[in-house]
């Protein structure tokens, strides 16, 4: 019999699909409205709505994101990638390294920060080798997705599914997923996906101008001085060999050697010790140069680069400032404010010459390399106004870095061996990180993705509503009638197909929330092992290649690669079909 609860649940699901597909209200607000409606009409109790906040897997997702953000801020991953990719000289060489390395890291670290870290390297390498970044950015996203499906913690989608497994009461024989339940399909698909990208991506993907070449209208450009380090690998190389003319967003305009100025700088000019190079560039590109292993150092920064916590900021000199008509040297920025002036921008013109000798005017924009005490020393200052924080740097002692990485690996290992829960291991690791001052309690809340947490909790509540109202059973019976003639394998194909379509055009979180209770009910009603049905939902939701909106890393590369929906479908549809066939084949062999 069709009940009011059943009708309302289907109306709510329809609302969720329409809102997410048309991006009417945003994912988190859409789920929140839907669950509130179900609560108002009594389909969900207040306890059932908020019970997800006490779900262990939701906390694990948040803690893994926190650790990923802490690791990203240490710049260890960036420095490691710089060493690994430095020797890649051709298309296939770089693509091969990128795919395997990113997939390997994604199995144990959140893939979103990994893609964010890799994108500047891809753009920089492409610019040096005159190849369009559009040949690499989709493969970068796909590599992160493929690697994330190897372990339970590789992607938040797997953890969401695990949270739903822990909450469900239909199949008590499975109370949780294990760390390496995903390797049966995950590892073969990393290999297959790697070969697919290596041999077909160049033929399928377009070659388009990067977005930063189309839109170059940044409001502030500076000229900076950079000196060749004493032990730099650049010494003895020509300008052409060094790649200094190909630094992303920076233009080499002049070289100063022994008081002689060389401009333009010839490609065959050999770099010597203490050469000073003048670059024109914008704020983000200058900040990237400061944090890189380019073999250059900014003379103004000096020993400040050794500080544990530094940042690049922009300030503007106020109209009644006491530093007007004074030179940078007279002001003594470093001693007074714990900051070094890197460059000066004035009324749309770039200011060059020795920084120490520049006389400041009202309205000048200063690019600063600031130390730990900058904020406290300038909190009451009226000499200038804070404009933007361009980039933050954190340097840690080697033993703290070893503790952070070793602790993360140990937490994963202990969880896999059932010595302790991943939840407790991660809590202890975060407490250790705070006690060692790797991070602080004030910094942690800024790294939490509150929208993601809300979507996960509301998805858990939606699954509960579908089971309580009978919607899951009704849809499950409908799918059984359609796909049962093809047997158990046909059912897995049906679940995979529906989940991947929803994930591709809505969101993978919504796909999991809707399809998980249906898949679980199908397995239970047919008295089959429910685990392959659960894993099918996880694979289909996270292994999302066909659209830019289906997975967060796809969306990250969508704009910078100047892609269209068609580009994602052309390269993503074949690998989606391959992933579906491999998933169903392997799960059928292992579990049926």
| Cβ proximity of 422 and 59 under 8 Å | no
What is the SS3 assignment for 149? coil
- In a shared domain, residues 274 and 290: yes
d(CA 322, CA 338) in angstroms, rounded, equals 17
The CA radius of gyration of the chain, in Å to the nearest whole number, is 27
CA proximity to 227, closest of 305, 284, 283: 305
d(CA 436, CA 404) in angstroms, rounded, equals 10
d(CA 38, CA 469) in angstroms, rounded, equals 11
| Cβ proximity of 547 and 504 under 8 Å | yes
Would strands 365-370 and 309-317 be described as parallel, antiparallel, or unpaired? antiparallel
CA proximity to 114, closest of 163, 166, 76: 76
Phi, psi of 129 (to 5 degrees): -105, 10
Phi, psi of 527 (to 5 degrees): 55, 45
In DSSP terms, 238 is beta-bridged to 270
The sheet that has 221-228: what strands, in order across it?
260-262, 250-257, 276-282, 221-228, 296-297
Q: Is 39 exposed, middle or buried (0-12, 13-18, 19+ CB in 10 A)?
A: middle
Peptide bond into 264 cis (omega under 30): yes
Is the residue at 410 inside a domain? yes
d(CA 580, CA 535) in angstroms, rounded, equals 12
| Cβ proximity of 540 and 511 under 8 Å | yes
pTM score of the predicted model: 0.64
Place of tokens 């066909």: 546
- In a shared domain, residues 329 and 381: yes
Number of domains in the chain: 3
Query: Helices 183-204 and 91-106 meet at what angle, rounded to 10?
Result: 150
d(CA 541, CA 26) in angstroms, rounded, equals 19
Is the residue at 367 inside a domain? yes
What is the SS3 assignment for 76? helix
The sheet that has 349-350: what strands, in order across it?
349-350, 339-346, 365-370, 309-317, 384-394
User: Residue 240 has what DSSP assignment?
Assistant: H
Element (H, E) at 533: helix 531-542
- In a shared domain, residues 287 and 335: no
CA proximity to 256, closest of 289, 223, 288: 223
- Per-residue pLDDT at 483: 82
Would strands 260-262 and 309-317 be described as parallel, antiparallel, or unpaired? unpaired
d(CA 550, CA 552) in angstroms, rounded, equals 7
| N-term to C-term CA, the chain | 34
| Cβ proximity of 204 and 570 under 8 Å | yes
User: Residue 358 has what DSSP assignment?
Assistant: P
The residue count of the chain comes to 592
d(CA 383, CA 150) in angstroms, rounded, equals 54
Is the residue at 282 inside a domain? yes
- In a shared domain, residues 405 and 420: yes
- Final residue of a structural domain among 267, 294, 321: 294
- In a shared domain, residues 325 and 275: no
- Per-residue pLDDT at 575: 96
Is the residue at 574 inside a domain? no
Is the residue at 419 inside a domain? yes
- In a shared domain, residues 251 and 319: no
Query: Helices 531-542 and 508-525 meet at what angle, rounded to 10?
Result: 160
Residues of the chain with pLDDT under 50: 212, 214-219
d(CA 97, CA 84) in angstroms, rounded, equals 8
- Per-residue pLDDT at 113: 66
CATH of the domain at 333: 3.30.70.1450
Element (H, E) at 473: helix 471-483
What is the SS3 assignment for 150? coil
H helix intervals, 274-421: 283-290, 328-331, 333-337, 374-378, 398-416
User: Residue 106 has what DSSP assignment?
Assistant: H
Beta strands in 57-119 (DSSP E): none
- In a shared domain, residues 313 and 368: yes
- In a shared domain, residues 369 and 429: no
- In a shared domain, residues 259 and 290: yes
Is the residue at 361 inside a domain? yes
Query: Helices 565-591 and 487-505 meet at what angle, rounded to 10?
Result: 150
How remote is the C-alpha of 495 from its chain's centroid?
28
- In a shared domain, residues 312 and 390: yes
Place of tokens 């009978």: 470
- Per-residue pLDDT at 215: 39
Structure-token pair, residue 479:
């799918």
d(CA 50, CA 457) in angstroms, rounded, equals 7
H helix intervals, 267-419: 283-290, 328-331, 333-337, 374-378, 398-416
Structure-token pair, residue 454:
């809300």
- In a shared domain, residues 384 and 312: yes
Task: Give the range of the structural domain holding residue 426, as residue numbers without chain letter.
Answer: 398-437
Is the residue at 159 inside a domain? no
Would strands 260-262 and 276-282 be described as parallel, antiparallel, or unpaired? unpaired
Is the residue at 299 inside a domain? no
5-to-37, 38, 343, 431, 470 alpha-carbon distances in Å: 11, 9, 65, 45, 9
- Per-residue pLDDT at 506: 62
Please, what is the Cα angle at 371 between 365 and 377, to 5 degrees? 75
- In a shared domain, residues 390 and 320: yes
- Final residue of a structural domain among 437, 464, 494: 437
| Cβ proximity of 234 and 176 under 8 Å | no
Structure-token pair, residue 404:
């952070």
- Per-residue pLDDT at 560: 73
- Final residue of a structural domain among 251, 272, 294: 294
d(CA 330, CA 176) in angstroms, rounded, equals 65
| Cβ proximity of 369 and 315 under 8 Å | no
């Amino acid at each position: 019999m069709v009940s009011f609860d059943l009708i309302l649940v289907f109306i709510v699901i329809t609302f969720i699909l329409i809102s997410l597909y048309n991006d009417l209200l945003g994912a988190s607000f859409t789920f929140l409205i839907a669950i509130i409606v179900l609560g108002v009409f009594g389909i969900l109790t207040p306890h059932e709505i908020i019970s997800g906040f006490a779900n262990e897997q939701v906390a694990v997702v948040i803690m893994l994101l926190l650790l990923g953000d802490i690791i990203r801020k240490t710049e260890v991953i960036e420095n490691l990638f710089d060493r690994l990719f430095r020797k890649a000289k051709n298309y296939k060489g770089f693509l091969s390294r990128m795919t395997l390395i990113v997939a390997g890291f994604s199995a144990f670290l959140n893939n979103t920060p990994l893609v964010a870290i890799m994108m500047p390297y891809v753009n920089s390498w492409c610019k040096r080798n005159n190849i369009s970044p559009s040949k690499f950015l989709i493969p970068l996203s796909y590599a992160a997705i493929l690697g994330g499906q190897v372990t339970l913690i590789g992607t938040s989608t797997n953890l969401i599914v695990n949270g739903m497994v822990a909450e469900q009461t239909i199949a008590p024989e499975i109370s949780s997923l294990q760390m390496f339940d995903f390797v049966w399909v995950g590892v073969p698909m990393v290999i297959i996906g790697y070969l697919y990208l290596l041999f077909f991506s160049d033929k399928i993907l377009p070659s388009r101008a990067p977005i930063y070449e189309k839109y170059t209208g940044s409001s502030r450009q500076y000229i900076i001085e950079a000196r060749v380090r004493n032990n730099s690998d650049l010494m003895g190389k020509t300008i052409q060999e060094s790649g200094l003319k190909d630094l992303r967003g920076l233009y080499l305009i002049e070289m100063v050697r022994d008081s002689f100025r060389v401009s333009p700088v010839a490609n065959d000019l050999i770099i010597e010790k203490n050469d000073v190079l003048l670059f024109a560039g914008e704020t983000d590109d200058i900040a990237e140069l400061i944090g890189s292993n380019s073999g250059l150092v900014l003379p103004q920064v000096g020993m400040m680069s050794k500080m544990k916590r530094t940042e690049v900021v922009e300030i503007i000199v106020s109209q009644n400032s006491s530093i007007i008509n004074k030179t940078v040297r007279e002001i003594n920025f470093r001693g007074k404010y714990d900051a070094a002036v890197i460059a000066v921008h004035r009324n749309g013109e770039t200011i060059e010459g020795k920084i120490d000798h520049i006389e400041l005017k009202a309205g000048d924009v200063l690019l600063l390399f600031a130390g730990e005490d900058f904020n406290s020393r300038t909190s009451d200052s009226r000499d200038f106004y804070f404009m933007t924080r361009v980039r933050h740097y954190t340097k840690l002692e080697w033993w703290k870095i070893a503790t952070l990485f070793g602790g993360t690996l140990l937490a994963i290992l202990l969880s896999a061996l059932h010595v302790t829960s991943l939840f407790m291991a991660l809590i202890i690791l975060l407490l250790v990180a705070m006690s060692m001052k790797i991070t602080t309690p004030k910094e942690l809340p800024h790294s939490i993705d509150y929208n993601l947490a809300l979507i996960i909790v509301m998805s858990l509540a939606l699954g509960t509503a579908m089971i309580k109202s009978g919607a899951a059973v009704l849809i499950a019976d409908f799918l059984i009638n359609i796909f049962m003639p093809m047997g158990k394998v046909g059912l897995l194909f049906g679940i995979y197909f529906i989940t991947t379509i929803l994930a591709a055009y809505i969101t993978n979180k919504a796909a999991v929330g809707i399809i998980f209770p249906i898949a679980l009910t199908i397995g239970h009603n047919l008295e089959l092992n429910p685990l392959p049905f659960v894993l099918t939902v996880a694979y289909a939701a996270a292994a999302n290649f066909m659209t830019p909106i289906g997975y967060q890393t796809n969306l990250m590369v969508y704009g910078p690669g100047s892609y269209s929906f068609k580009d994602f479908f052309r390269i993503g549809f074949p690998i989606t079909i391959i992933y579906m066939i491999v998933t169903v084949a392997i799960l059928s062999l292992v579990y049926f």
